[in-house]
Amino acid sequence: MSRFAPNAQYLKTAVETATPTRRLLMLYDGAIRFLGQALPAMRARDYEAQSRFIGKAQDIIVYLRATLDFEAGGAVARQLEAVYTPMYDMLTDANIHDRPEKIEKVIEFLRELREAWVEVDRQCQMGKSAGRDPGAKSELVAA
């Protein structure tokens, strides 16, 4: 057994038991973390690490885009798609042309999206505690 196995099991359990919003926040956190690691790699001209970290963030963005539910999410899903696609392109440009400001801009977008979902989750939790039907359709169907 690997020395990392308990940590991997903890992460697996955390993901499997998380609410959809919490999973979304985990993805945003991961992308932000990877881009935060890409910046010093870029500044150090460590192109292998730079590409690896940007690629991991792009993988998350691709996943976020691929899992949008356009039927249930409607306009919100379309708006998120309109944000995710240029973010991916900005990261490609940042990686090819060593443009840290593009990475910083994507981090800013991700943080704003994350904060918006935290607020949506907070409002949903308030609705549940106020007696709203917990089985009612959530606004979180877009992601």
Please tell me the total count of domains within the chain.
1
Return the pLDDT at 20: 86
Tens-place pLDDT, residues 75-84: 999 999 999 9
What is the value of pTM for the model shown?
0.80
Q: Name the residue among 67, 73, 60, 64 with its Cα closest to residue 142.
A: 73
Q: Domain holding 122: CATH number?
A: 1.20.120.340
Q: Are 120 and 140 in contact (CB under 8 A)?
A: yes
5 belongs to a structural domain:
no
133 belongs to a structural domain:
no
Domain that holds residue 92: 22-127
9 belongs to a structural domain:
no
- Calpha distance 63→34 (Å, rounded): 15
Tens-place pLDDT, residues 16-65: 767 888 999 999 999 999 999 999 999 999 999 999 999 999 999 999 99
134 belongs to a structural domain:
no
